[in-house]
Amino acid sequence: MPQPHKISFSVINTNEVFGYFHTEPMRIEIDKMCDTWDHLFQTMMHECIHVALYKSNHHDFDQHELKFNRIAKRICDMYKFDIKEF
């Protein structure tokens, strides 16, 4: 993961997606649709997987493929998230 001062966070209003990860500058955006702690936390964890893959130099960091799904499964098992909604 990046050093805390190297990534910023913001709230967006798209009503289309729950979150985004942008690389330059590094930023996680969370949509205002995430209106509960659980939804916010789950979305943040989802976007953090993209960040971790990006920082590990995976060219497909923005996809939901095998690498992403392996980490997502571990997180969903740990926090009891529904993998279908993750």
Q: What is the pLDDT along the chain (86 residues), one digit of tens a residue?
A: 888 789 999 999 998 999 999 999 999 999 999 999 999 999 999 999 999 999 999 999 999 999 999 999 999 999 999 999 99
Domain positions in the chain are 4-79
Q: What is the pLDDT of residue 5?
A: 85
What CA–CA distances, in Å, run from 22 to 28, 29, 74, 82? 6, 8, 23, 25
**Residue 17 to residue 22: CA distance in whole angstroms:** 14
Q: What is the pLDDT of residue 56?
A: 95
Burial of residue 39 (CB within 10 Å: 0-12, 13-18, 19+) is middle
- Whole-prediction pTM: 0.92
